[in-house]
Amino acid sequence: MKKLQLLLLVAAALSAAGKPASKAVGANKLLLISFDGFRWDYDQDVETPNLDQLVLDGVKAKYITPPMLTMTSPSHFTTITGRWVEDHEVVHNMMYDSKTNQKVSHKKTLTRSEWWDNGVLPLWITAQNQGLKTASFHFPGGGANYSGQAVNRVLVEEFDHPDDNETEWRQNVDTVLRWFSEEDFHLVTLYYGEPDNVGHAKGPDTEDRKKIIRQIDRTIGYLREAIDRHSLTDSLNVIITSDHGMTTVKKRPQVEEIILNKYLNLIKLASFEILDYGGFGILTPRPGKEQEVFDSLSKAPNLTVYHKDQMPESFHLGKSERLPPIVVVADLGFNLNSRFIVYVNKGDHGYHNGEMDMKTIFRAFGPDFRRNFVSEPFDSVHIYPLMCKLLQIHPAPHNGSMRVTEPLLLPSGEHNGSMRVTEPLLLPSGGSQLTAPVSVTLLLLVIFTVL
């Protein structure tokens, strides 16, 4: 009889673990801010007193490695899902269909659910399913529906939205803080399009870029003041990060720019292409022409061409069903021009995520974070489980590990509220990670010991 009672107890515990959790009690709120294109070292040649103060009052990573693809939408979706690009399948800023040659611009893609909703749930939806209120303010992916569910509150960036209006930046800060203080939102993601736009238009090594970093620093100072004004200092954690870095584009006469049509007849050999988009390109060869396309592109200088299924495992791209068979990655600073040199950007990204110019920032502060702590670099995929722990929710399957970011947090008992520990259960290499409450695992050990 005793054994039967114990087995029933185990069954009840496992059943509860599989159900959506009720709203976390005692969890602090979370604001995730992304400054697009903020390279890891942008604050090192500019006076940034507010960012410097964040290091004293919170935590900093030496740098963050974005996923391979170092583009806005793929990288942001890795942050908000904790999944590699080959798993979440947002493989480009542009929605496309290689079979029909359909291509949709980046801004229009932001509201196309069929591009974002691929069976992977972003943090907004996972949190909502566990009783929390969430919002997205211009954050990539926030404007889509996932399995029929929408984010509780969404503002999507308009096509012609100006990215550098400092007054509007402050208004946006006040808006999201009111959502926390007056409407009891638990998670808000806030996106700014700078310094990416300035980096593209003027280049990363210019006075214009330094000017926008000073503006970002002033905005961080305003954020700190506004948090105190809204009485959120003791209940709001803030993470500030980005999606990728930026590098100076190499142009004639300093270098021989890449024109791919010199090495293969694109019309004759390719049925679909996205080129002329910085340092990353994709092609679908015509039937029977894949090897010819590969061999021809391999003769071009300053780039590396891959068969999709032969890309390095570290790219975490090879399993993607959306990517075409041929992937081209330019050397740092080179653009992939298809037929003519039409690219005007002075700075760009999309290059190998191992390049230091592609690395980005991580800062965090709030009641659950340590103070005056600098961590070693880590991949952006690990931000997701950290956010789940801060919100005290069960993560969806993900590729990150809480072990990487645990040192950023105050030791147990030194922060507000109690944090329920959830650690990843590792699947075989290449698989995802699942999480389970430690209490269930301990219960099983006790039961089997008794039996």
Q: How far is it between the farthest Cα atoms of the chain? A: 86
* CB distance 434 to 422 below 8 Å: no
Q: Which residues pair with 62 in a beta bridge?
A: none
Using CA atoms, how far residue 104 sits from 196, 225, 359, in Å, is: 21, 40, 27
Looking up tokens 């029929």 gives 148
Q: Which of 246, 279, 269 is nearest to 92 (CA)?
A: 279
Instruction: Give the burial string for 342-359 (b: 16+ CB within 10 Å, else e).
Output: ebebbbbbbbbbebebbb
Q: Collapse the DSSP code of 403 into the 3-class scheme (helix H, G, I; strand E, B; otherwise coil) and give the result.
A: helix
Quote helix, strand, coil % in the chain, to nearest 5. Answer: 35, 20, 45
Using CA atoms, how far residue 62 sits from 37, 58, 373, in Å, is: 16, 13, 10
Q: Which of 351, 201, 196, 209 is nearest to 277 (CA)?
A: 351
Q: Which residues pair with 337 in a beta bridge?
A: 259
Q: Which of 448, 96, 83 is nearest to 272 (CA)?
A: 96
Question: How far apart, in whole angstroms, are the C-alpha atoms of residue 185 and residue 206?
Answer: 39
- Residue 28, number of CB atoms within 10 A of its CB: 21
- Stated as kind and residue range, the H or E segment containing 327 is strand 326-330
Question: How far apart, in whole angstroms, are the C-alpha atoms of residue 344 and residue 350?
Answer: 16
Instruction: Give the burial string for 86-124 (b: 16+ CB within 10 Å, else e).
Output: bbbbbbbbbbbebeeeeebebeebbeeeebbbbebbbbb
Q: Which of 278, 283, 386 is nearest to 325 (CA)?
A: 283
With a CB cutoff of 8 Å and minimum separation 6, the contacts of 286 are: 268, 269, 270, 271
Active-site annotation holds for 72: yes
* CB distance 335 to 256 below 8 Å: no
* Active-site position among 48, 72, 189, 241: 72
Angle formed by the axes of helices 2-17 and 438-450, nearest 10°: 160
Distance of alpha carbon 7 from the chain centroid: 42
Which active-site residues does the annotation give? 72
